[in-house]
Amino acid sequence: MNEQEHHKKAFEFYYGLSERRNYKMVAEEFGVSVGAVKVWGRSFEWSRRLRERDGEVAKAVAERSMKDGIERGVRNLKIIEMGLLQVAKAIAEGKVKPSVSDLDRLIRLEEFLREERKAGEQTKFIIEWRDASNPSEEQDKEAGERETEEQ
């Protein structure tokens, strides 16, 4: 038996039924007996074609998901890089008093997005900000406390 256009349409209808898929619904839609649809299903290997189509769809979804994830990661990395540059500029211009915890989080996020850390690897950042012209005891104390907390 050669597969004709109405057989192809019947298969597409059958595939489109998804979870509700059954030969009876195909028979009713195409005005034929359930037995005829069973013959079409066997003759034109509908089971194999369903598996192949499901595999193709799953592969396409996975590829699209991966591409979307990469695009999001690149976009987020650009945002983080811009944020770091803006913070660095504001610090250099004296407009912002540096916050070690904010910088630490940005640096860790950038590193994560760049996937520079290996799974399970512990990375520590100890950033000390001191006014080069007037280092204070308070800054030294804060840096020591942060180092102790991180350990």
- Choice between 116 and 22, residue whose per-residue pLDDT is larger: 22
Buried b (16+ CB within 10 A) or exposed e, 90-121: eeeeeeeeeebeebbebeebbeebeeeeeeee
Listed in sequence order, the residues at least 6 apart from 128 whose beta carbon sits closer than 8 Å to its beta carbon are 100, 139, 143
- Residue 67 structure tokens: 């591409």
Question: What mean pLDDT comes out for the span 117-131?
Answer: 39
How many Å from the N-terminal Cα to the C-terminal Cα in the chain? 75
User: How much is the pLDDT for 139?
Assistant: 46
What confidence tier does 145 reach under pLDDT thresholds 50, 70, 90?
A: low
Q: Determine the Cα–Cα distance for residues 9 and 88; give it in Å rounded to an integer.
A: 63
Question: What mean pLDDT comes out for the span 113-122?
Answer: 50
Max avg pLDDT among 14-23, 111-120, 141-150: 14-23
- Asked if the model's pLDDT at residue 123 lies above 60, the reply is no
Listed in sequence order, the residues at least 6 apart from 11 whose beta carbon sits closer than 8 Å to its beta carbon are 40, 44, 46, 49
User: How much is the pLDDT for 117?
Assistant: 44
Q: Determine the Cα–Cα distance for residues 80 and 33; give it in Å rounded to an integer.
A: 63
Listed in sequence order, the residues at least 6 apart from 121 whose beta carbon sits closer than 8 Å to its beta carbon are none
User: How much is the pLDDT for 135?
Assistant: 45
- Asked if the model's pLDDT at residue 97 lies above 80, the reply is no
- Asked if the model's pLDDT at residue 147 lies above 80, the reply is no
- Choice between 135 and 95, residue whose per-residue pLDDT is larger: 95
124 Ramachandran zone, left/alpha/beta (phi>0; psi -120 to 50): beta
Question: What mean pLDDT comes out for the span 84-99?
Answer: 80
User: How much is the pLDDT for 121?
Assistant: 39
